[in-house]
Amino acid sequence: MKVTIIGQIQNKKTGLGKAINDFIDFCKENATYTTTIDITNNKKFFNHCYHILVSDTDVYYFTPSGSVGGNIRDSFYLFLMILKQKKIVTHFHNSSFGNVINKNKILKLINKWIYKHIDKIIVLGYKSKQMFDSLKVTDKKFEIIRNGVDDNLFISEEKMSQKFQNKIINVIYFSNMIKEKGYEIVLKVAENMQDNLQFHFYFSGKFFDKKLEEKFKNDISKMKNVTYYDGVYGEEKKYLLENMHYFVLPTSYKDETLPISMLEAMASGLYIITTDVGVISEVTDSNVSTLLKSSTNDLSIKIQDIILQTSATIKINDFNISKMKDEYSNKMIQKSIFKVIES
């Protein structure tokens, strides 16, 4: 089987970039031939169109965008794939597709025609299927496959036991440092808890705004209970998560669906505090997580209360890592995606 993978492949350090590259690696080991078309650079639009038209493939695997401009671009790409009369599988990692097409009658009509010709649509959860309600897509086209977690990030029983011997409770914000993801709310929690020496706050993620980065670094320079990492990867990420107790992500990001960072935190035995967006509620365990409404007033106070109320008993909770590994092992997820394009 010849596979052509089309998406924003270039940045391997984003959640989407990692997911696509993991599948590329899997296909290179299991498909007869794997071709990739990186559509990150929109200036190469016509070049991308050409490569789609001349591609020798049995199946196209495509990860659509969740923006208006991205949808217009994607419609051209998908139209060309349809002309090739090969199997097409789209894999949605965003949750804004529905809002985009429903606000524009022309885009809605275009996408209705396109998705009549798409063979399979992979989504991250049951709620994600609602994005397609107005397009009247038949249910048999959908496959629900979650994001996956690298096997080395599933914490061992020994490391889990060692974690709770630490007298300091570690809280981490582990995502891009953008306002919509809620890092400022977590920083407010840290400010409110400065006098409580039992808790330490960690932030790991990249800034995309220099002014916000300077302000954040200036704020934490006055605080003794905050440590910041400009993104961690590989073994450094594994070590960091193994020593954390809480993962806090009060996100209101419009495209949030199923954060890989949250799944990695779950695999590392962290108590999850996040907002009820995307399909997060479909995967979290209420015994070791609290979901908040993003519209909740004083989120920082609410988060602080949850941490203080649960910290005394957190070590006796059952984080059920073995079940988590059965369901979210990255190897298993890649096999599931490959099975969809192969069938």
> Residue 16's pLDDT band (boundaries 50, 70, 90)?
confident
> Residue 136's pLDDT band (boundaries 50, 70, 90)?
very high
**Domains within the chain, CATH numbers bracketed:** 2-144 (3.40.50.2000), 151-326 (3.40.50.2000)
Residue 72: Cβ-neighbour burial (10 angstroms; 0-12, 13-18, 19+): middle
For the cut 80, the answer to whether the pLDDT of residue 5 exceeds it is yes
Contact predicate 260/149, CB 8 Å: yes
The residue type found at 41 is N
Mean pLDDT of 115-127: 97
Contact predicate 282/289, CB 8 Å: no
pLDDT recorded at residue 168? 94
pLDDT recorded at residue 296? 74
Residue 282 has, within 13 A of its CA and on its CB side, a CA count of 18
pLDDT recorded at residue 339? 97
> Residue 240's pLDDT band (boundaries 50, 70, 90)?
very high
pLDDT recorded at residue 166? 86
The residue type found at 240 is L
In DSSP notation, 214-242 reads HHHHHHHTT-SSEEEES---HHHHHHHHH
How confident is the prediction for the chain on average, in pLDDT? 95
